[in-house]
């Protein structure tokens, strides 16, 4: 439920071009009220949020998001977009699953090293043009090469202490596709919402015609309304997957 709500929040922000830029467990609130009999989960603290067009203002320091939840492109000083929010959501859900902090760096260098220990070093050439690449890449050069999806699932399973149930295997597969070094290969929120992990609770797939050029099958529509100058998710209509 928390992951699904977090992804819907990231989706509803990305459509009008907003980056939350500080997704972490402290900024996910469980409301005592309910929605259709389920807890109401909200994404809070928009003090660091920005329009996509404002991202260039951070290209000097790239100090965006709390350090432990900072996406690789921010670490290495490369251009960034909404994918930083999906990365942070993935780290957040991993931590909520295992009940502890997944990565505990004290510096940019420490974060690059810890990510390399968990996920391998970045793919060749991915961040070569980044502002901090020459400073950081030599620190991870002796780590294994970046892993494929299967290896990622295995490493995440060990790091999170998963016990191999079908539900946990699906979650690991989902996280392994969210926590990718290359933001272009990272799942988008709509794609993540259509992952089989959600089928048991939400037996449907979500249409993302509003935010991607090619819609998924078996879907109807996403409706968005504007409230007090902000875009918010209003309703998601879905069609049952076959």
Query: Which tokens belong to 17?
Result: 């071009």
- Decide if 228 is inside a domain: no
Q: Which residue has the higher pLDDT, 142 or 242?
A: 142
pLDDT on residue 242: 36
Q: What are the distances in angstroms from CA 117 to CA 113, 128, 162, 213?
A: 6, 19, 18, 36
The answer to whether the beta carbons of residues 211 and 11 sit under 8 Å apart is yes
Sign, CA dihedral 33-35-41-46, equals negative
Per-residue model confidence as pLDDT tens digits over 78-89:
999 999 999 999
- Residue carrying structure tokens 């959501």: 89
The C-alpha atoms of residue 230 and residue 210 are separated, in whole angstroms, by 17
In eight-state DSSP terms, residue 213 is S
* Confidence band for 206, pLDDT divided at 50, 70 and 90: very low
The answer to whether the beta carbons of residues 50 and 18 sit under 8 Å apart is yes
Residue 22 bears catalytic tag: yes
- Decide if 231 is inside a domain: no
Q: Specify the 3-state DSSP secondary structure of 115.
A: helix
CA angle at residue 13 from 12 to 17, to 5 degrees?
Answer: 125
* Confidence band for 232, pLDDT divided at 50, 70 and 90: very low
pLDDT on residue 35: 55
pLDDT on residue 1: 61
Report the range of poorest mean pLDDT among 105-109, 165-169, 225-229. 225-229
- Decide if 230 is inside a domain: no
The C-alpha atoms of residue 41 and residue 28 are separated, in whole angstroms, by 7
Per-residue model confidence as pLDDT tens digits over 157-187:
999 999 889 889 999 999 999 999 999 999 9
Q: What is the mean pLDDT of residues 8-15?
A: 76
Query: Which tokens belong to 127?
Result: 């961040």
The C-alpha atoms of residue 47 and residue 72 are separated, in whole angstroms, by 22
pLDDT on residue 85: 94
Number of domains in the chain: 1
Strand pairing category for 230-240 and 204-205: antiparallel
* CATH number, residue 152: 1.10.510.10
- Decide if 222 is inside a domain: no
* Confidence band for 37, pLDDT divided at 50, 70 and 90: low
* Confidence band for 94, pLDDT divided at 50, 70 and 90: very high
- Decide if 52 is inside a domain: yes
- Decide if 219 is inside a domain: no
- Decide if 238 is inside a domain: no
Per-residue model confidence as pLDDT tens digits over 50-82:
999 999 999 999 999 999 999 999 999 999 999
Q: What is the mean pLDDT of residues 227-233?
A: 34
Domain enclosing residue 126, as ranges: 2-203
């Amino acid at each position: 439920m928390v992951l699904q709500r977090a992804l819907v929040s990231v989706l509803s922000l990305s459509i009008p071009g907003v980056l939350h830029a500080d997704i972490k467990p402290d900024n996910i609130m469980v409301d005592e009220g309910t929605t259709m009999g389920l807890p109401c989960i909200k994404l809070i603290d928009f003090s660091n949020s920005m329009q996509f067009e404002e991202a260039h203002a951070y290209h000097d320091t790239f100090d965006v998001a709390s350090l432990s939840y900072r996406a690789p492109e921010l670490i290495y000083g490369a251009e960034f977009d909404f994918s930083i929010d999906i990365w942070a959501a993935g780290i957040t859900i991993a931590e909520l699953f295992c009940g502890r902090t997944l990565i505990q760096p004290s510096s940019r260098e420490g974060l690059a090293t810890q990510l390399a220990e968990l996920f391998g070093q970045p793919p060749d050439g991915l961040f070569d043009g980044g502002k901090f690449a020459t400073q950081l890449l030599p620190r991870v050069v002796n780590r294994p090469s970046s892993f494929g999806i299967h290896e990622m699932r295995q490493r995440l399973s060990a790091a999170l202490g998963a016990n191999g149930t079908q539900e946990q295997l699906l979650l690991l597969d989902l996280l392994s596709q969210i926590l990718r070094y290359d933001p272009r290969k990272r799942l988008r929120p709509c794609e993540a919402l259509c992952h089989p992990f959600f089928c048991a609770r939400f037996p449907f797939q979500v249409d993302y015609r509003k935010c991607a050029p090619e819609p998924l099958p078996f879907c109807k529509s996403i409706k968005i309304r504007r409230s007090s100058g902000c875009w918010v998710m209003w309703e998601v209509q879905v069609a049952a997957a076959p």
